[in-house]
Amino acid sequence: MAKLDFGGTVENVVTRDEFPVEKAREVLKEETIAIIGYGVQGPGQSMNLRDNGFNVIVGQRKPSKSWDKAVNDGWVPGETLFEIEEACEKATIIQYLLSDAAQIALWPTIKKHLTPGKALYFSHGFAVTYKERTGIIPPKDVDVILVAPKGSGTSLRRLFVAGRGLNSSYAIFQDATGNAFDRVVALGIGVGSGYLFETTFKREVFSDLTGERGTLMGAIQGLFAAQYDLLRSRGHSPSEAFNETVEEATQSLYPLVAENGMDWMYANCSTTAQRGALDWWKKFRDATRPVFEELYDSVATGNEAQLSIDSNSKEDYRVKLEAELEELRESEMWRAGRTVRSLRPENA
């Protein structure tokens, strides 16, 4: 394990140089990894493990669209694809990758297959951190570990196929066997992590829920909408408003930030853009900080968790979700986006 100094804060990290995939395979050579759930994270993590040479199977409800998707991805019924209980019986490591609401519903089924010495793996700290609300309390004689890729399962898979990696956090909630560290790091390397940084289940879920509601998804949509609507109200065309709000950000500037940081992106823009960005960024920080404070407090108290549990457990959740997504999809801004994307050179 390496220690990296981030300006005075020292963090424990594990890189692929010090823990290569060959070592990870050796650690897990006697293990059978069952991926339970084939939705957001399941496909990417399972296929990366398979391609990296691990003994991995998929457990999924049959019949279902996810079962069919797993078959299309090369999982073979009766060989590497099983119904959930059979996969759990065969596994020594159960990767519990269902949605948070589905984890709650299926927990009694999963728990009875957690025999001593097995490992229970999460990619989100939600279920264990909010155990009073979820009812998910693992047995004391199993390892309870976490690897949380910092991105979607789709991104994890795409980067893996491209020969790259997606950074992940790792955590150990319970080390019953004495091998939890080797198990979690080997799994983290196996699923395609670029490097692994240490966290706890609680810190992971607090930062994750804040990020998703904040700059990763919620806040960025809010900022996009506010600027787009402002430009339209001042007489700018949909094309101009969308290009100046979204297209230039995602296609030109954000990749520069990813490449070498915000200062490097500023340095590679016009002097007028530099001056304006430097003059205004602190105003936006100060304006939004109270909203982020409110958000984090809502996460820390468990309010956001309860809202998610209550909403996602309703029978009509998918219907209401589609209605909310349609509202976004059919807003003028994102209708303009469809047109702009269709005019990109690769799509023309």
Residue 50 lies in a domain: yes
Residue 348 lies in a domain: no
Residue 179 lies in a domain: yes
Same domain, yes or no, for 77 and 179?
yes
Which phi and psi angles does 330 have, rounded to 5°? -95, 5
Last residue of a domain, one of 199, 226, 249: 199
CATH number of domain containing 78: 3.40.50.720
CA 159 to chain centre: 14
Same domain, yes or no, for 177 and 231?
no
CB 93 within 8 A of CB 121: yes
> Which pLDDT score, from 0 to 100, does residue 148 have?
97
Which has the closest alpha carbon to 110: 141, 89, 130? 89
CA end-to-end span of the chain, whole Å? 48
Percent of the chain at pLDDT above 70? 100
CB 139 within 8 A of CB 114: yes
CB 128 within 8 A of CB 149: no
Same domain, yes or no, for 22 and 133?
yes
Handedness of CA 243, 249, 250, 251 (dihedral sign): positive
Same domain, yes or no, for 41 and 139?
yes
Across the chain, how many H-helices and E-strands are there? 19, 10
68: its two tokens: 């069919």
Residue 172 lies in a domain: yes
Same domain, yes or no, for 145 and 248?
no
Say how many domains are in the chain.
Answer: 2
Q: Characterize 296-334 residue by residue with b for buried, 16 or more Cβ atoms within 10 angstroms of its Cβ, and e for exposed.
A: bebbeeeebbeebbeeeeeeeeeeeeeeeeeeeeeeebb
Q: How far apart are CA 136 and CA 126, in angstroms?
A: 10
**Annotated active-site residue in 124, 157, 183, 213:** 124
> Which pLDDT score, from 0 to 100, does residue 2 have?
78
Gyration radius from the chain CA atoms: 22
CB atoms within 10 A of CB 13: 18
Which segments within 210-260 are labelled E, that is strand?
none
Full residue range of the structural domain in which residue 236 is found? 211-342
Same domain, yes or no, for 109 and 257?
no
CB 94 within 8 A of CB 121: yes
Same domain, yes or no, for 166 and 263?
no
Last residue of a domain, one of 170, 199, 228: 199
Q: How far apart are CA 27 and CA 185, in angstroms?
A: 10
Same domain, yes or no, for 283 and 150?
no
Residue 347 lies in a domain: no
Residue 254 lies in a domain: yes
Q: How far apart are CA 9 and CA 3, in angstroms?
A: 10
Q: Is 113 a catalytic residue?
A: no
DSSP state of 77: B
Q: Note the pLDDT tens digit of each residue in 111-154.
A: 999 999 999 999 999 999 999 999 999 999 999 999 999 999 99
CA 272 to chain centre: 36
Residue type, 220: I
| Average pLDDT over every residue of 234-246 | 98
Q: Note the pLDDT tens digit of each residue in 175-211.
A: 999 999 999 999 999 999 989 999 999 999 999 999 9
| Average pLDDT over every residue of 300-310 | 96
Same domain, yes or no, for 168 and 262?
no
Helices 201-213 and 218-233, axial angle in degrees (round to 10): 10
Q: How far apart are CA 244 and CA 224, in angstroms?
A: 10
Residue type, 163: G
pLDDT higher than threshold 90 for residue 348: no
pLDDT higher than threshold 80 for residue 317: yes
Helices 303-312 and 317-329, axial angle in degrees (round to 10): 100
pLDDT higher than threshold 80 for residue 347: no
Same domain, yes or no, for 14 and 80?
yes
Last residue of a domain, one of 199, 222, 239: 199
Residue 47 lies in a domain: yes
Same domain, yes or no, for 179 and 223?
no
> Which pLDDT score, from 0 to 100, does residue 10 have?
87
Residue 206 lies in a domain: no
Q: Note the pLDDT tens digit of each residue in 247-304.
A: 999 999 999 999 999 999 999 999 999 999 999 999 999 999 999 999 999 999 999 9
Same domain, yes or no, for 87 and 175?
yes
| Average pLDDT over every residue of 314-328 | 94
CB atoms within 10 A of CB 198: 14
CB 80 within 8 A of CB 144: no
